[in-house]
């Protein structure tokens, strides 16, 4: 009886090929995540000075300032809580060329 060898070119049923394709997909996902972290303005590995304003114009506004590795958060009190507490500190004048000049009292 003769034993026939299977055709060596038929790799359609090889389970290792699907595993290799799955690893390729995960490598692409990891590369995309690394790019997203690198593009983030609050990246902990950069020494840039960045200011981010969240929920601008609302009472819950938050300002995040990153200077090197130091990150500070400033939260707004809300317009209703600070209404009427301020004191006039000076006057601002708009000049004909569009610039502003502050004159303290």
Domain count of the fold of the chain: 2
Site of tokens 């006039």:
88
**pTM check: above 0.75:** no
Q: Please tell me the total number of residues recorded for the chain in this structure.
A: 105
Residues 77 and 31 in one domain: no
Per the structure, the complete domain to which residue 69 belongs is given by: 47-105
**pLDDT tens digits, one per residue of 23-71:** 999 999 999 999 988 887 777 777 778 888 888 878 788 888 888 778 8
Sequence-ordered list of residues with C-beta below 8 angstroms from that of 88, at least 6 positions apart, any chain:
105
79 domain-assigned = yes
Same domain, 52 and 99: yes
Distances (CA, A) of 68 to 5, 46, 47, 62, 90: 66, 7, 4, 19, 34
Nearest to 78 by CA among 64, 94, 54, 57: 57
Same domain, 18 and 55: no
Q: 86 lies in a domain?
A: yes
- Does the pLDDT at position 12 exceed 70? no
Pairwise CA distance, residues 51 & 68, whole Å: 12
Question: Is 23 within the bounds of a domain?
Answer: yes
């Amino acid at each position: 009886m003769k034993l026939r060898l299977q055709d060596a070119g038929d790799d359609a049923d090889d389970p290792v090929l699907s595993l290799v394709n799955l690893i390729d997909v995960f490598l692409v996902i990891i590369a995309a995540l690394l790019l997203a972290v690198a593009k983030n303005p609050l990246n902990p590995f950069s020494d840039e000075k960045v200011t981010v304003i969240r929920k601008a114009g609302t009472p819950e506004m938050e300002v995040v300032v990153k200077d090197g590795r130091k990150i500070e958060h400033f939260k707004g009190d809300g317009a209703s809580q600070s209404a009427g507490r301020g004191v006039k500190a000076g006057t601002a004048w708009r000049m004909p060329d569009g610039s502003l000049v502050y004159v303290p009292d």
